[in-house]
């Protein structure tokens, strides 16, 4: 004999809300980790001389490499890293340098 269960509208809404809370709790670690990963921006050239800024522009420095990780400042021989998740430096281009950046003087880091 099959037993059926009946729920009142109020009970059903309570269950649905509980499910929504469970889904939110289950996704919380993912939400928190995405909040902690801030995108790095290294575009502040306010402290540079006009000449340094012109060189940066002439070499077409970009904060995001159009070549992805294959050709980025992080693997360029002129890149000088600082702390993790901070802008680095470059021996050619002055100012803050994004490890994910790129310019026309990119050269592979020798290993
Ligand atoms: S030379 Fe260009 S690609 Fe290489 S680290 Fe400097 S800015 Fe980045």
pLDDT tens digit string along 38-92?
889 999 999 999 999 999 999 999 999 999 999 999 999 999 999 989 999 999 9
Structure-model confidence comparison of residues 18 and 91, the more confident one: 91
- For residue 7, the surrounding DSSP H or E stretch is none
Q: Which long-range contacts (CB under 8 A, 24 or more apart) does 107-110 make?
A: 107/76, 107/77, 107/78, 108/75, 108/76, 108/77, 109/75, 109/76, 109/77, 109/79, 110/77
Query: How many residues belong to the chain?
Result: 111
Contact between 87 and 97 (Cβ < 8 Å): yes
Residue written as token pair 């009142």:
8
Q: How many angstroms does the Cα of residue 49 sit away from the middle of ligand 1? A: 18
Q: Which atom of ligand 1 lies nearest, measured to the CA of 107?
A: 4
Question: DSSP letters along 36-69, please?
Answer: H-PPP-----TTS-HHHHHHHHHTT-BSS-TTGG
Q: How confident is the model at residue 25 (pLDDT cuts 50, 70, 90)?
A: very low
Distance of CA 17 to the CA centre of its chain: 33
Residue of 45, 60, 61 with the most ligand 1 atoms within 8 Å of its CB, for mutation: 61
């Amino acid at each position: 004999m099959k037993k059926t269960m009946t729920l009142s509208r109020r009970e059903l809404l309570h269950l649905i809300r509980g499910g929504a809370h469970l889904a939110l709790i289950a996704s919380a670690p993912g939400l928190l980790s995405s909040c902690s990963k801030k995108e790095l921006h290294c575009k502040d050239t306010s402290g540079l001389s006009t000449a340094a800024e012109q060189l940066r522009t002439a070499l077409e420095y970009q904060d995001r490499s159009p070549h992805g990780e294959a050709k980025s400042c992080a693997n360029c021989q002129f890149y000088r890293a600082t702390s993790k998740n901070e802008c680095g430096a470059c021996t050619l281009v002055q100012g803050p340098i994004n490890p994910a950046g790129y310019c026309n003087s990119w050269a592979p880091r020798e290993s």
